């Protein structure tokens, strides 16, 4: 691929951070933005709004979109009843991100989903989720182990990748250790996605698109790994930014 001559703009939809009395904030973890910058892109936060003109303008300026981690997605989005362990969803975030994901994939704009973002891409294309791994998958690993360690870069379990996957090629490996900070996982994998990575307990960890659009979803948090814990992930962000540059 030729060198990037123009730094592509990578949209990052925002989460809502509420306070007991202060005005709620929109934003996302600085680690996503720093990973994009280091890879040669320009991160652009997309705030939560119902104004379609504003959303359209954000979208048109973006060359690619990263869907970040965050709260659980409302299971009404995949026609399921709420599990007792479900975390409180954010309906406006769900609506905005699902719309952006479907639009970007249809338009061939590169998308990269991380943790919640991985789950969101699956739902956007017609898949479903396990809403709580410990109570729905017998014999599962502790997929919240990095959370329990209070260390987002804690390498908790192995990831096994399909050798012919884009991610394995970028990482230069088919087996590696990853962090884990999630209690949900892909259940029914959507049409248009193929599973290319599993945890040792069989939980789906990585999906890639089967069409012409660049679609990548990972259940771990590489934005917390690329700088120190496992610098190979920097090549993944760089590869995504290259795709967005065209």
CB 135 within 8 A of CB 46: no
- Asked if residue 5 has pLDDT above 80, the reply is no
What's the pLDDT tens digit per position in 81-128?
999 999 999 999 999 999 999 999 999 999 999 999 999 999 999 999
- Name every residue whose Cβ is closer than 8 Å to that of residue 20 and which is 6 or more positions away in sequence: none
For the residues 63-84, what does the mean pLDDT come to? 97
**Dihedral angle sign, alpha carbons of residues 183, 137, 209, 72:** negative
Predicted model pTM:
0.95
| Helix (H/G/I), strand (E/B), else coil: 79 | coil
Catalytic residue among 58, 62, 115, 242: 115
Q: Which one is catalytic: 183, 205, 221, 242? A: 221
157 is catalytic: no
Residues 6+ apart with CB under 8 A from 103: 59, 109
pLDDT at 6: 87
Residue 220 appears among annotated catalytic residues = no
Cβ(215)–Cβ(154) under 8 Å?
A: no
224 neighbors 196 (Cβ within 8 angstroms):
no
Chain segment 119-167, per-residue pLDDT in tens: 999 999 999 999 999 999 999 999 999 999 999 999 999 999 999 999 9
Q: Are strands 25-27 and 64-67 parallel, antiparallel or unpaired?
A: unpaired
Measured CA to CA, the distance from residue 21 to residue 18 in angstroms comes to: 8
pLDDT digits (tens, 9 = 90+) for 165-186: 999 999 999 999 999 999 999 9
- Distances in Å between the Cα of 1 and the Cα atoms of 4, 70, 243 are 9, 33, 9
Q: Helix 91-107 to helix 52-61 angle, to the nearest 10 degrees? A: 40
CB count, 10 Å around CB of 106?
10
Whether residue 110 contacts residue 214, with contact meaning beta carbons closer than 8 Å, is answered with yes
Q: Does the pLDDT of residue 15 top 60, yes or no?
A: yes
Asked if the model's pLDDT at residue 4 lies above 90, the reply is no
> What's the confidence (pLDDT) of residue 121?
98
Which of 97, 208, 223, 224 is labelled catalytic? 223
9-245 has CATH 3.40.50.880 classification: yes
Q: Given a cut of 80, is residue 200 above it in pLDDT?
A: yes
Identify whether 221 is a catalytic site residue.
yes
Residue with tokens 């248009």: 192
Whether residue 3 is predicted with pLDDT greater than 80 in this model: the reply is: no
pLDDT exceeding 70 applies to what percent of the chain? 98
């Amino acid at each position: 691929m030729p060198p990037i001559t123009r730094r592509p703009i990578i949209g990052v939809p925002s989460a809502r951070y509420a306070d007991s009395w202060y005005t709620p904030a929109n934003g996302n973890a600085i680690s996503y933005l720093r990973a994009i910058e280091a890879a040669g892109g320009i991160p652009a936060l997309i705030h939560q709004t119902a104004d379609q003109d504003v959303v359209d303008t954000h979208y048109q300026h973006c060359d690619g979109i990263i869907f970040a981690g965050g709260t659980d997605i409302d299971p009404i989005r995949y026609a399921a009843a709420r599990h007792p362990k479900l975390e409180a969803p954010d309906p406006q975030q769900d609506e905005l991100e699902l719309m952006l994901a479907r639009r970007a994939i249809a338009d061939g704009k590169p998308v990269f989903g991380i943790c919640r973002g991985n789950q969101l891409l699956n739902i956007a294309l017609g898949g479903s989720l396990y809403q709580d791994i410990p109570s729905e998958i017998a014999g599962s690993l502790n997929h919240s182990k990095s959370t329990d360690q209070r260390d987002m870069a804690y390498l908790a379990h192995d990831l096994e990748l399909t050798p012919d996957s884009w991610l394995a090629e970028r990482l230069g490996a088919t087996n590696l250790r990853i962090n884990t900070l999630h209690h949900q996982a892909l259940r029914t994998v959507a049409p248009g996605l193929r599973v290319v990575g599993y945890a040792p307990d069989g939980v789906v960890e990585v999906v890639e698109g089967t069409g012409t659009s660049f679609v990548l979803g990972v259940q771990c948090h590489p934005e917390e790994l690329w700088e120190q814990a496992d610098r190979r992930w920097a090549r993944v962000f760089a590869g995504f930014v290259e795709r967005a540059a065209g």
